[in-house]
Structure 1
């Protein structure tokens, strides 16, 4: 797993684009990024597809699972090699979670790209 696993919505073009940005930031390949539609992925982090459909999930090397804005901050900590994102989150977490929830609820309205599961259908359950 490396330093962490990010589980995202592979049928969402905005989510796929966001994961592309995260991969570009992850120059050292510290994070594995997989769609929750891939068989066994939700269970591998101790949750289910319904939970994953609601918010991005993160599981760090320590086994702790986070979701939503907390997950994004853990991802940013890992790819940047600093604790700055999670330090800012401790102060602004409530606001970040509200913004995350709004974006997640309206993600189909944001620019995206071909969703991961359309580009990699063999990796995603139908």
Structure 2
């Protein structure tokens, strides 16, 4: 695989809003795709990994999750974005980024654009919102 891929939760309105920001304002080469529409097997990802955090799969099978995935996506975008991505990878910032990411992830249903469905694991979303309905 030569094209990097950034995978997010397409059932979460907050995550989708963030992905739209990436697609319209951050010039990454990555394909930005909801995990629900991605070929997870081909990417070497599991549903559980994708429910846990955003994912980055780069050339050579480089994988990262959460703020580490965001840092790699930003570094891929070049120019000023590279600086932001590099900063996010610095020890003290990276150390603080994971708890911040987990807090946002756990509260995304309360953030602008979030919905109650954002807080549920996929299995529960499938029960509440069957795709065949």
The SS at the match of 1:7 is strand
Q: Comparing 14-23 with 40-49, which one deviates more in the overlay? A: 40-49
> Tell me, which stretches of 5 or more residues in structure 1 are unaligned?
116-124
Query: Cα distance 1:85–1:62, how it changes in 2: closer, same or farther (>3 A)?
Result: farther
Q: Deviations over 1:58-99 (max 9, x none)?
A: 011232010000001111111234642343122311101110
Mapping 1:37-52, distance limit 5 Å: 37-38=36-37, 41-52=39-50
Structure with bigger helix share is 2
| Residue in structure 2 matched with residue 85 of structure 1 by the alignment | 84
Query: Cα distance 1:113–1:99, how it changes in 2: closer, same or farther (>3 A)?
Result: closer
> Tell me, which stretches of 5 or more residues in structure 2 are unaligned?
118-129
| Residue in structure 2 matched with residue 102 of structure 1 by the alignment | 103
Q: Deviations over 1:4-58 (max 9, x none)?
A: 100100000000000011011234x6110111112x5222221211110110000
Higher gyration radius (CA): 2
- TM-score normalised per structure 2: 0.75
Q: How many residues align?
A: 115
Q: Comparing 57-66 with 8-17, which one deviates more in the overlay? A: 57-66
Kindly report the root-mean-square deviation, in angstroms, between the aligned alpha carbons of the 2 structures.
2.5
CA distance in 2, matches of 1:70, 1:43: 21
